[in-house]
Structure 1
C-alpha cells in the first residue's frame, strides 16, 4: 500500500474516472453499493465523463480522491459531496447541517484489506476538515442493509450508525443505513 499516491483527480483524467467507475459497477457488490447501473454508466457520453472529472478536481462542492499505483493504474476511489444545510439530499430528505457526504467508494478486489480504503478515507476526511466558511462538523455516508462488509469497514474506521434509515432509490423495498463521523475535537 505504501507505494500508492492518494490524491484528487485532475480534470484531464476523465478516461480514468470512467474506467474505474465502470470497473466498480462490474463488481458483484455493485447492486448494493451504487445507485447507478453498469448500463447507465456505459451509456454516458465522453462529455459527461469530462464534466464529472472537471467538477471533482477543484472547488468546494465535490472532490474525488484516487489511489494511484506506481504504474499509473487507479486501484480505488472515494468522492466527497458537500451538502448544504437547508437543501434536499438524494433521498428527498432535508439536510439539517452543512456536511460532507462520502459516495462512490470502490477499491479493486485485489487491493481490498491492504489499507487502501483507509488511506482514501483519510485523504477525504482531511480535505473535508480543511474546508472553511462554514466549517463542516460531520461527514456521512449510506450503506445498503445487505452490504455487511462495507458496514463493518465503516464502523472500524470510526463511523457510527445514526439510526436514520431510508429506502434505496432504485429499490424502495431495500434500506440504506446512514453512518456519521463527527469532526474530531
Structure 2
C-alpha cells in the first residue's frame, strides 16, 4: 500500500464482479455519455461470461492490461485499461491502425476519490506497462471536446493532441523517442 492509501495494480481474473460493478458505476456518471462508447443499459444486459472474458483479457497473461486502484479497505477506487492495437487492424472509428500502439480506455475514478493520487497513479502504471513492453510506439486516448477537465489531466500526464476525430480529440503519449 502506498503512503496515500491506494495500491495500483493489474486486475486479477477473479475480480470480474468488482470490475463489472465499477464499470456500471462509471456508466452512471453524469459525463458517461461523452466519456464512454457504451451505455449503462447495454453493459448491465451483458451476461457474466462477458464480464469474465473482458476481465481475463486485461489481467496478467492477457493481451491487454487493466489497472485498478484499490483502497486500504479493498474497494476499487478507479481503473484504466490499455488495449494493444495491432498494425493492419481497424480501430473503433473504422480507421486502419498503422503501428502497434496502446489505447487507453475506460478511465474512471469514483467521485469520492477524484482529486486524489488515484488518477495519476493509474496513468503512471498504464504508461510504465506500455513502455516496459518495448513494442508500443505510442499510447493514445480520445477525449471529448467538451471534457476540459479530462483533457487538462491528460495534458498534465504528458499527452498531446494529435488530431480531431468528430466530437473528440485524439491525444498521444510517445513511449519511444
Q: Normalising by the residue count of structure 2, what TM-score does the alignment of the two structures yield? A: 0.95
Consecutive unaligned residues of structure 2, counting only runs of 5 or more, are none
Aligned residues: 175
- Residue 158 of structure 2: aligned partner: 158
Per the alignment, in what secondary structure is the counterpart of residue 36 of structure 1?
Answer: coil
Cα separation, 1, equivalents of 2:67 and 2:138: 18
1:83-135 Cα offsets, whole Å, 9 max, x none, are 11121110001111111100000001111111210000000011111114xx2
Per the alignment, in what secondary structure is the counterpart of residue 58 of structure 1?
Answer: coil
- Residue 173 of structure 2: aligned partner: 181
Consecutive unaligned residues of structure 1, counting only runs of 5 or more, are 168-174
Query: Among 93, 96, 120, which residue is 1:94 paired with?
Result: 96
- Residue 130 of structure 1: aligned partner: 132
- Residue 3 of structure 1: aligned partner: 5
Say what the alpha-carbon RMSD is for the aligned residues: 1.3
Query: Among 91, 104, 112, which residue is 1:110 paired with?
Result: 112
Cα separation, 2, equivalents of 1:184 and 1:55: 25
Report if aligned partners of 2:8, 2:68 keep a CA contact under 8 Å in 1: yes
Name segments (4+ residues, structure 1) moved above 3 Å: none
